[in-house]
Structure 1
């Protein structure tokens, strides 16, 4: 058992950029926090792993090719590997607990 300190807690990004902090990594999953300030832009690219977001703070809209939804604290979102997605209209500082399965980046192509 391990308590994961700071997971899902808002951290002001430095220099108005988004903030990503990984808190736990095993071969099968990773857990982190992604923060976007109010009015900020989500600049992420699709991931090679399945992903679950849990909104712990803030409000925004998530947009995917399949549609859009307003999110708020308590919202839980599943994004399959490879799906384009973006948080827009961030009206309040947004903190997201993020769970990747398998671990973030572990399915990325080996550049060698």
Structure 2
């Protein structure tokens, strides 16, 4: 067992903040924080993602639709799908779980 200290805690910042809490071959987990009024610059990942909102309010946008998100909401974004948080109306934090671990499917520079 391992307790992931600080997972889901909003980190006050003037831009986006990522903190990884765990990485094992089959998954990784971290906290992504965005300030109210901020911009989410993320691009599609090569791994599936689960978002669990722990703090604040924003809208999760994808080309196929968008959904308001608040504390307790959970969303799944499949690998490769364009997505970002928009309309960040309150300081916002999500626990992000990648399966498999983040960047594990990305091509390396030696491939």
Report the TM-score when normalising by structure 2: 0.97
Post-superposition offset of 1:111: 1.2
Q: What secondary structure is seen at the aligned counterpart in 2 of 1:91?
A: coil
Q: After the TM superposition, which segments of 4 or more aligned residues of structure 1 sit over 6 Å from their partners?
A: none
Query: Structure 1 regions of 5+ residues with no counterpart?
Result: none
Alignment partner, residue 11 of structure 1: 11
Post-superposition offset of 1:66: 1.2
Pairing of 1:33-44 with structure 2 (within 5 A)? 33-44=31-42
Query: Structure 2 regions of 5+ residues with no counterpart?
Result: none
Count how many residue pairs are aligned between Structure 1 and Structure 2: 110
Post-superposition offset of 1:90: 0.2
Over the residues paired in the alignment, what is the CA RMSD in angstroms? 0.6
More strand by share: 1
Aligned match for 1:89, one of 80, 87, 90: 87
